[in-house]
Chain A
Amino acid sequence: MGSAARTDTDSSLGTHDLETGMRASRVGTVVPIMAIAVALLFVFNSAGLVRWTQNLPPSTFNTALSDAANAWHDAMTAAGPARLFEVVKDAIEVDLR
């Protein structure tokens, strides 16, 4: 193994702590980060929610969920963010081809 040239008792291999030199925080700081990031995803990428509900197995609950996702997507399209995201997405797709 990679450690062969070192001594067999060398234990540094694979035991690096990533946290070295980093500062810890309170767990509460995760809440606004997650909330804002998820909200942005759901507002701008509401089409993604619709696609997700379309792939769910058919059931009464999932149909209601799908209807709610569609209504949300319609609202976001009317308000603008969903349209803006689609424009950015299309522009990127064209560029990458």
Chain B
Amino acid sequence: MIFPTLNFLLFYLVVWPTAWGLALLRQHLLHKLAIIAASYFFYAFWNWRLAFLLFGSVLLNYSAGRLIDRWRGTSAGRWTVRLAVAANLLLLGFFKYYGWFIESLDDLLRSLSMERELPYLEIVLPIGISFFTFQGISYIVDLHRRDLDRSRPLVDVMFFISFFPHLVAGPIVRAASFLPQLETPPNPNRVFVGLGVMLVIWGVLKKAIVANYLAVQLVDPVFLAPSNYGAIDLLFAVYGYAIQIYCDFSAYSDIAIGVAALLGYRFQRNFNQPYRAESLQDFWRRWHMSLSSWLRDYLYIPLGGNRYGEFRTYRNLLLTMVLGGIWHGAAWKFVLWGALHGGVLALERFVYKGHDPAARIGRPVWIRAVSIVVIFHFVCLCWIFFRAEDLSRAWELLGGLANWSQPVELLSLFLLALVTFGMAIQFTPQDTPQRLDRLYHRLPTWGVGVLCGIVLLLVEAISGDGAAPFIYFQF
């Protein structure tokens, strides 16, 4: 079930009144059970068998949580944490990386003339496994670190891991920030309706118009056969992909946050105008914030962070980003993408002696502007490897950027306008959501309804029939 579809609308039109009805009747347990049932229905819509895997993940983390509580402070407790984290990673590794591992091993053995019969398996990649596994790990580690005071009942752990808005493509919600919200029913007098409605509409608009058109009319054809196009088409396909992936992924996050907000639950922000970043560190504070903070807190810091000297810090940065790259998928292109980001983060740290240049006050405007352009282009370079079918096509595209003799075939004024729009929204004032919220409170409720209806109709008229899956579904 994809967010901006009639299927999801009808699903939500049943779930929303049921959940709030039960909350208003003070049936807190039934409210949670209704949302859990809805979440499993949402997940089983793709493949009902995989719902059992999701439940298995919940059971694993719930049981480990109980044991951590019981054996807190003992070596048995610490071993439970290690084993539970390892089991989560094993689950993720088997479904996501087994095929890649066997293929890479096969290639290696062939290159050494040592061919063997390897156990290839047909494994279906369960949608959202990277997200719900990381949330499971968050529950275990938060409990171990006492960021979460005690283990939670099975219903709460199920709700936390399976809650449908974040289930298949994030944001990655932290146990310590989300589980306390399940202690009491959502407050019907304190719902961020303006925020929720605004995020849903904004997300639908970014996904259905900007991301879809850029994908279909520019990015997909160019990345499929880069050698068929000249430098201008290639260059704008790269810019187009930067905007497409932002508008696609941030749209999913916006809709997820909005849908949860209308149900009375709070997620944290996942994007903050990433292409206005003035350094790569700044970029990672603005892009997929729930993943970057997860990697920082559950990987970079446990590896030692910046506490053991310069060399160890660079190593930790590189390792964290490479593993972050592999998290996106089982392919060498993601390893390279992560290594490029990690390498430049380490370089920035070396050059600026550990200070973030973007955080300096009073930098001249021209330096800030040049920094933004440089960082944006570095991020675009990395996106080429991220998006290309394989590394050879990425090199093909990079080589084609020198071919200025071929005429423009795909780039149109409309696509140029979409790219420009995608860049312009990176530079809107930081308090735009608050301004829109004030506007929402000035309008009559029926006016907001009419406005939402008109915007959704316009989106439907512009986007045409059908909705492409979100990019991050594959991760």
Contacts and interface: CB of A to CB of B under 8 A. Distances in A.
B452 A5 contact: no
A3 B295 CA distance: 10
A30 B434 contact: no
Interface in B126-146: none
Interface centre among B293, B300, B431, B449 (most CB of A within 10 A): B449
Interface string A78-97: 00000001001100110010
Nearest to B431: A21
Nearest to B23: A27
B280 A41 contact: no
Interface in A5-28: 5-6, 8, 13-28
B268 A36 contact: no
A40 interface: yes
Contact of B194 (A22, A28, A39): A22
Interface residues of A, number: 47
A32 interface: yes
A88 B449 contact: no
Chain B's interface size range is 35 or more
Contacts of B320: 1
B289 A13 contact: yes
Interface in A22-76: 22-30, 32-41, 44-45, 48-49, 51-52
B393 interface: no
B227 interface: no
A2 B449 contact: no
B453 A41 contact: yes
B296 A39 contact: no
Contacts of A29: 191, 193, 445
A92 B321 CA distance: 43
B434 A21 contact: yes
A77 B446 CA distance: 25
Given A22-B194, A40-B454, A4 B317 contact: yes
A70 to B, nearest CB: 16
B306 A4 contact: yes
B366 interface: no
Contact of A33 (B188, B280, B448): B448
Contacts of B356: 5-6
Contacts of B454: 40
A50 to B, nearest CB: 11
B352 A5 contact: yes
Contacts of A45: 457, 460
A18 B448 CA distance: 20
A33 B447 CA distance: 8
Nearest to B314: A4
Smallest CB-CB A-B distances: 8 pairs: A36-B449, A2-B284, A14-B293, A40-B453, A14-B289, A5-B356, A37-B452, A37-B453
Interface of A: 1-6, 8, 13-30, 32-41, 44-45, 48-49, 51-52, 85, 88-89, 92-93, 96
19 contacts: A1-B292, A1-B345, A2-B292, A3-B281, A3-B284, A4-B305, A6-B356, A8-B300, A14-B270, A14-B294, A17-B266, A19-B266, A21-B434, A25-B193, A33-B197, A33-B452, A40-B453, A44-B457, A49-B6
Given A29-B445, A48-B6, 12 more contacts: A1-B345, A3-B284, A3-B292, A4-B349, A19-B192, A25-B192, A25-B441, A34-B13, A34-B16, A41-B9, A51-B465, A93-B464
